[in-house]
C-alpha cells in the first residue's frame, strides 16, 4: 500500500474532485452537452485549445470526441483546417487568463465561432469571451507564506498538490464523465469507440 506524502496527496486530490462534482453546475454541463450535440448534428467542427498541462487535458478530450465521431482538431497542430462560422472552440484554462488561449478565443469569436470555456474564473477574460462557460473548481491562490512550518504554525493550510493540479485533474475527470453521457445520448458503444481508435501507435 502506498504511504507518506504521496498517499496524502492522492487522497487530497480524490477528496477535492469528489467535492467539486457537487459544485459544477448541472445547467452549465447541460449547455456544454447541447452545444456539442448540436454542432455534431449540424456537421460543425470542434477546435480544442489549452496550454501546458491544461492543454494535455484538452487533447485527451479531443481524442474521445474523435472516437465519438465528432470532427475535432487541436489548435497548434500542423494539420488544421480553417475555422468557420458556427464552429466550436473549447478552451481550457484554470485562470482564464492564459494569453495564448485568450488570443485564440478572440480570433475564434471574430470568425463567428462559438466559444466554450472550462475555467475556475467565469469573470476572467476567457470567461467573458465565452458563449458557454463551465466553472470547474480548482486551486484559487498560491501560498502567501512560502515556509511550510510557518504556514502550519499560523494555521494556513495550502493544498499538498502544486499549482494547477486540482483544476487539471478535476477537468480531466469531469470531461471523461461527460464522454460517458455523450455515448449514452448518441447511442455509441465502446466497441464503436474502439473502431475509431488509432491502430498505428
pLDDT at 189 (0 to 100): 84
Q: Out of 77, 168, 195, 201, which one is annotated catalytic?
A: 168
pLDDT at 143 (0 to 100): 45
What is the pTM (predicted TM-score) of this model? 0.86
Contacts of 112 (CB under 8 A, 6+ apart): 84, 85, 86
132-141 b/e (C-beta count within 10 Å ≥ 16 → b): bbbbbbbbee
pLDDT at 190 (0 to 100): 83
Residue 134 three-state SS: strand
CA-to-CA dists, residue 160 to 69, 119, 148, 173, angstroms: 39, 21, 10, 19
pLDDT tens-digit map of 147-200: 444 444 444 455 666 678 889 999 999 999 999 999 899 888 888 778 888 777
| Averaged pLDDT, 48-65 | 95
pLDDT at 12 (0 to 100): 84
Q: Which three cell numbers stand for residue 110?
A: 471574430
Number of Cβ within 10 Å of residue 145's Cβ equals 13
The strands making up 46-50's β-sheet, listed across from edge to edge, are: 72-74, 46-50, 88-92, 114-119, 132-135
Q: Which domains does the chain have, with CATH numbers?
A: 4-190 (3.40.50.10490)
Q: How confident is the model at residue 92 (pLDDT cuts 50, 70, 90)?
A: very high
Closest of 67, 68, 48 to residue 58, by C-alpha: 48
Whether 168 is catalytic: yes
Amino acid at each position: 500500500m502506498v504511504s507518506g506524502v504521496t498517499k496524502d496527496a492522492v487522497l487530497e486530490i480524490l477528496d477535492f474532485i469528489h467535492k467539486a462534482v457537487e459544485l459544477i453546475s448541472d445547467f452549465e454541463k447541460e449547455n456544454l452537452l447541447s452545444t456539442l450535440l448540436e454542432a455534431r448534428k449540424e456537421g460543425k467542427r470542434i477546435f480544442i485549445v489549452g496550454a501546458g498541462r491544461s492543454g494535455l487535458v484538452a487533447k485527451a478530450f479531443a481524442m474521445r470526441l474523435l472516437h465519438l465521431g465528432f470532427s475535432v482538431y487541436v489548435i497548434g497542430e500542423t494539420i488544421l483546417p480553417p475555422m468557420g462560422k458556427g464552429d466550436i472552440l473549447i478552451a481550457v484554462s484554470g485562470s482564464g487568463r492564459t494569453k495564448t488561449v485568450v488570443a485564440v478565443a478572440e480570433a475564434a469569436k471574430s470568425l463567428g465561432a462559438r466559444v466554450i470555456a472550462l475555467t475556475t474564473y467565469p469573470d476572467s477574460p476567457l470567461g467573458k469571451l465565452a458563449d458557454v462557460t463551465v466553472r470547474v473548481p480548482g486551486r484559487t491562490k498560491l501560498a502567501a507564506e512560502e515556509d511550510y512550518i510557518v504556514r502550519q504554525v499560523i494555521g494556513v493550510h495550502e493544498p499538498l498538490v502544486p499549482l494547477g493540479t486540482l483544476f487539471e485533474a478535476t477537468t480531466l475527470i469531469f470531461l471523461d464523465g461527460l464522454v460517458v453521457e455523450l455515448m449514452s445520448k448518441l447511442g455509441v458503444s465502446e466497441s464503436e469507440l474502439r473502431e475509431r481508435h488509432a491502430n498505428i501507435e
